[in-house]
Each structure stands twice: as structure tokens, then as C-alpha cells.
Amino acid sequence: MSAPRETQAGTNATAFVLEAKQIEKSFGATHVLRGANLRIRRGEIHALLGGNGAGKSTLIRIISGSHRLDAGSISIDGRLDPNPNAIAVVFQELALLPHLSVAENIYLPHRKCAFARLGEAACYAEARAALALVDEELAERTLDWPVAQLDLHERQFVEIARALSSGARVLLLDEPTANLTFSETERLFGILRRLAQQGISTLLVSHRMGEIRALADVCTVLRDGRSVLDRVALSDISDEAIVEAMGQKSSAVSPPAPRGAPAASARMQIVLRSPGVSLSVASGEVLGLAGAPAGPSGVIETLIGASRPAAWQITIDGIDVRFSSPAEAIRAGVGYVSGDRAEKGILATLPILDNIVAAARVADRRILASSREATAAQTALDTLSIKASSIDALPQTVSGGTQQKLLLARWLAPAPKILVLEEPTRGVDIGTKREIYAMIRDAAAAGCVVVWWSTEFTELIAVCDRVVAFDLSGQASGVLDRDELDEVSLSRATGMAA
Ligand SMILES: Nc1ncnc2c1ncn2[C@@H]1O[C@H](COP(=O)(O)OP(=O)(O)OP(=O)(O)O)[C@@H](O)[C@H]1O
């Protein structure tokens, strides 16, 4: 890695490409940032860490120009009137226009020459150069392709090229490896390290300790809107010390959760079959699904009544079952937390109350709100220690990790017989992850069958009784018992990064 490692003491102000000093920000009565600092050197890979709600996204939005600061200052290369393109957020998807070419996606946002054909050629050459900086082979092969034809990780590379060609000096990536295979992750990390050598800095926001340690040089930790660790070399600090600085007492590595003893009552046996594979799961079990989306999504969509024709056959206690819609699955006792929080999880325009009681309303075929719902919703908030100003507030007023807890709160009542979880800890801080693991084990101990897809192997290993691995083509490649579970076996069976 290119940047020199340093301790809190060893800093030289002139070398900072980005310097955010004493940033203050409130939303109404909520004082979110209380003197936050962030200093990034040229060519450094810097991790911005903190628990859910600590203020990371707010700080990022301020430095990338989408929020105004109330007090403090931001400078880039020592200038207080920085180029707004100097900081670029690299999204995993969505930010590109799928039907335009790769080249157009790179040059259109900052096209300086709106008229001449010659201008077009120059823009095209510029786009090619930017993509070649990121990945020569991709620039050779895909410049004229519609973005829709690219893989997810290739789109991420195009995003990086677009940012570079717009003049970005600092790239911001938020948990960039979710859904990447082992080799794609290596390729992305290789690109970021190479760009670092060329003076481009990366700001990594992540709750995944493995990813942070693999990539970053230095970290800043936010807690309650203040920087409690300011530019500490990752080589000088343990995971435990980082977690403690975040204000979370737990150790960084989650301890193995207690195995749920199958409840004597309400015992149930589910058999899932697809050509060549048969899986039998009993009440009290947590069955993990590992691998790229193609494989696990077939199982999940069948269980929640979202695929027609169903990819798998389900038998519950010897009876064949087919759910023709998600509502039918809910009424049969299937709970589901979608991995796509924004599109399929959170009801963004409805208050927290409605978000929590949504499943109960579908299960009971209720349209009108009931007076007991407020009590049920408040109980759910208290049970899961969800920090929200009120059940009448909108979900956008709580942090991303807290929204994830709201989705789980939806399934406290009615308690499902089968709980299907897709990446329920994505974007969730380490302390909250541990609470979610305990919830998963509690649900199993109460007699539920839990089916859980995660791309974070460490959590599958810590919590699951068994894991079905799927290879990159979506075929089941093995069933690993608890004593066979480790990162190497899962990486091998799935082709994904640990
Ligand atoms: N538009 C808003 N209105 C009111 N409160 C807000 C708004 N945006 C953020 N907040 C509050 O600011 C606090 C910090 O949120 P922020 O999203 O910056 O945290 P974070 O560290 O990025 O958390 P996470 O890791 O969960 O993404 C939260 O308590 C959140 O409820």
C-alpha cells in the first residue's frame, strides 16, 4: 500500500487532499454531527467507521456536497472553495444509465463540448483513457456496450472511471464487496491500490472488519457525531479497540451463538427439493444459504411465493405446498426480510408504525389501522432497542442500520413458522449484528425454521447449523455441516469472497 502508516501524532497538514474540520450538523432538534473531523492524505485508503447512527452518511453527504454544513470547514488540497467533483461516491449499481454505452456513461455527466462531432470523439477518447486507468481489458472490450450488458462488478469499475474522468481525487465506497466473488473483490482491491499509488484516495465506509483490514491503511471512528479516533493506523489498533471506540462493548468477532434446541411444541419438518438436491430442515434449525444471488434467490423466491414456476418444491410435514403469492406465504406463516431494503423492504412514505405492523395487517387481512398497533409497534421498538424519535416518524429519520432493524421488527408479531432472511445485517454495525444473530437463534429456539442468505461468511459460520453452498452458476455445490464450516470451505464451494 502506498500511504505511510501513521499514528495520531504524526500528521502533516499540507499533505491532506481532504480536510473536514469541526463539522456541525443538525436536522431539526437532532444534533447529528458535533465537531466531526476527517483528514485524508493523497493516495491513502481510509476507513470511516462508527456504529449505526454515528453520523457517517451525514458527514459523507456534507463533504460530497449534498448536505450543507451548519458549522466547520471543508478544504480540498488546502482550498476552501473545492471543486464539487473532487469527491465522488461510487455506487454499486443504479447510478448508471443502463441503455447508454459505457463511454457515454463516463463522459456525459461532465461533457464540456455539447455541439461538435469532433467534441464527441474527444469525449470518447477521454472516457477510454479513464476506463483504461481502472481496467485496460474492460476499456478494450466494453466501451461501446450498453451498460446493461455488464456484470455488477464491471459497473462498479465504470463508476470509478466516471468519477476519475470528472476529476475525482477521493473515491467513496460503501461496503463495496457485498455480492462480489473472490476474484472480483481481488480485482477491485487491486484497482483501488493501484489508484492509490497514482495519488487517488479512497474513503471506505464499512462494518465488515475483514474488508477494512484487507484494504485500508488508516481509520477515523465517529461516535455520536464526534471523531473519537482521528487518523489511527489500522496496523496499530485491534478490532476490539475499534469496537470499544465506537461505544460498543462487544468483542469484534461475534461469539458462536447458542444452538437453539428445537421446541417440543410446534415441531415442523420442511423438505426443499430441486433436481438432484433434497434438503430437510426441522424447527429449531438455522439453515444458511451461501453463494452468488442466482442460487439462493431460487430457494428464497419459492419459499415466499414470489417465483412462478417455483424453482424448488416444498413439502411441509409431508404435505406438498405451493405458495402462489407472497400474501399467501405470509398467511401460511412465512416471514421475509428482503435484502433490497430501499425497493422491497422499507415503506419510505409511511411512518415507522406502519412499517412495523405491515406483515400483521397482511396476515390478518386488515386494511384499517387498529388501536392496538401503536402498542405493538412501541413494544417492538423497545424489544429490539430501536432508536427512533417516535413511531409516527418516517423511516428516513433513522440511520440505515436502524431501518434494517425495523424490517426485522416486522416479524416479531406475528411470529413466523419459517423466517426467510436475505442479508439482514447489511449495513448494520457490529453491536447490532450481534443482536440480530441472537434474534435469529431465539426465533429458531422458539420453533421457527430460519433460512438465511448472507454474503458475510463469518456470520454464517458463527450462527448456522448447516449451510447450503451454491456455485457461481446457481447450482447447489454442497451442504456443509456446522463442524465443516469455515471461510476456506465456503469460499471454495461458492467461488465468493470470504
Ligand atoms: N434527514 C434527516 N432528518 C432527521 N434525522 C436524520 C436525517 N438524516 C439523518 N438523521 C439522523 O442522523 C443520525 C446519523 O445518521 P447517519 O445516517 O449519518 O448515520 P450513519 O453513521 O451513516 O449510520 P449507518 O451506519 O446506520 O448508515 C441518525 O440518528 C439519523 O436518525
Tell whether 2 is covered by a domain: no
Long-range contacts of 107-116 (CB under 8 A, 24+ apart): 107/165, 109/162, 109/166, 110/85, 110/165, 110/166, 110/167
Check if 395 has its Cβ closer than 6 Å to any atom of ligand 1: no
Q: What does residue 152 show for φ and ψ, rounded to 5 degrees?
A: -55, -45
Please count the structural domains in the chain. Answer: 2
In the three-class reduction of DSSP (H, G, I as helix; E, B as strand; rest coil), residue 316 is classed as: strand
ipTM here: 0.97
The per-residue pLDDT string of the chain (498 residues; one tens digit each, 9 = 90 and over) reads 344 344 443 444 457 999 999 999 999 888 999 999 999 999 999 999 999 889 998 999 899 888 999 999 999 888 887 677 788 888 655 578 888 999 999 988 766 555 555 567 788 888 999 999 999 999 999 999 999 898 888 888 999 999 898 888 999 998 888 777 778 888 899 999 999 999 999 999 998 888 899 999 999 999 999 999 999 999 999 988 998 999 886 544 444 454 555 545 557 889 999 888 888 999 999 999 999 888 899 999 999 998 777 778 999 988 998 998 999 999 999 999 988 887 888 999 999 999 998 888 888 888 777 788 889 899 888 888 888 888 999 998 888 888 988 999 998 877 899 999 999 988 888 888 888 898 898 889 888 999 999 988 889 999 999 999 999 888 898 899 999 999 889 988 888 765
Rounded distance between C-alpha atoms, residue 275 and residue 284, angstroms = 26
Check if 62 has its Cβ closer than 6 Å to any atom of ligand 1: no
User: In this structure, are 241 and 280 located in the same domain?
Assistant: no
- DSSP, residue by residue, 161-229: HHHHHTT-SEEEEESTTTT-BHHHHHHHHHHHHHHHHTT-EEEEE-S-HHHHHHH-SEEEEEETTEEEE
Check if 30 has its Cβ closer than 6 Å to any atom of ligand 1: yes
User: In this structure, are 368 and 279 located in the same domain?
Assistant: yes
| Structural domain of 223 | 13-245
Out of 23, 24, 27, give the residue to mutate to test ligand 1, the one with the largest number of ligand atoms within 8 Å of its CB: 27
> By alpha-carbon position, which residue is closest to atom 31 of ligand 1?
398
Q: What is the DSSP letter of 84?
A: G
Tell whether 81 is covered by a domain: yes
Fill in the amino acid letter for 247. G
Check if 430 has its Cβ closer than 6 Å to any atom of ligand 1: no
Out of 23, 30, 172, 436, give the residue to mutate to test ligand 1, the one with the largest number of ligand atoms within 8 Å of its CB: 30
Check if 496 has its Cβ closer than 6 Å to any atom of ligand 1: no
Tell whether 285 is covered by a domain: yes
Among candidates 475, 450, 447, which has minimal Cα distance to 288? 450
Q: In this structure, what CATH number is given to the domain that contains residue 223?
A: 3.40.50.300
User: In this structure, are 325 and 417 located in the same domain?
Assistant: yes
User: In this structure, are 282 and 425 located in the same domain?
Assistant: yes
Check if 399 has its Cβ closer than 6 Å to any atom of ligand 1: yes
User: In this structure, are 297 and 188 located in the same domain?
Assistant: no
Q: Where are the beta strands (DSSP E) in 59-169?
A: 71-76, 87-90
Look up the pTM and report it.
Answer: 0.77
Q: What does residue 288 show for φ and ψ, rounded to 5 degrees?
A: -85, 150
Ligand 1 centroid from CA 397, angstroms? 7
Rounded distance between C-alpha atoms, residue 468 and residue 311, angstroms = 16
Count Cβ atoms below 10 Å from residue 312 Cβ, excluding itself: 19
Nearest atom within ligand 1 for CA of residue 50: 21
> By alpha-carbon position, which residue is closest to atom 25 of ligand 1?
52
User: In this structure, are 299 and 173 located in the same domain?
Assistant: no
Q: Which residues pair with 8 in a beta bridge?
A: none
User: In this structure, are 205 and 275 located in the same domain?
Assistant: no
Fill in the amino acid letter for 44. E
Nearest atom within ligand 1 for CA of residue 429: 25
Nearest atom within ligand 1 for CA of residue 61: 18
Nearest atom within ligand 1 for CA of residue 28: 4
User: In this structure, are 145 and 213 located in the same domain?
Assistant: yes
Tell whether 237 is covered by a domain: yes
Tell whether 300 is covered by a domain: yes
Tell whether 259 is covered by a domain: no
Q: Which residue, of 211, 245, 279, is where some domain finishes?
A: 245
Rounded distance between C-alpha atoms, residue 227 and residue 304, angstroms = 43
User: In this structure, are 210 and 273 located in the same domain?
Assistant: no
> By alpha-carbon position, which residue is closest to atom 29 of ligand 1?
53
User: In this structure, are 280 and 236 located in the same domain?
Assistant: no
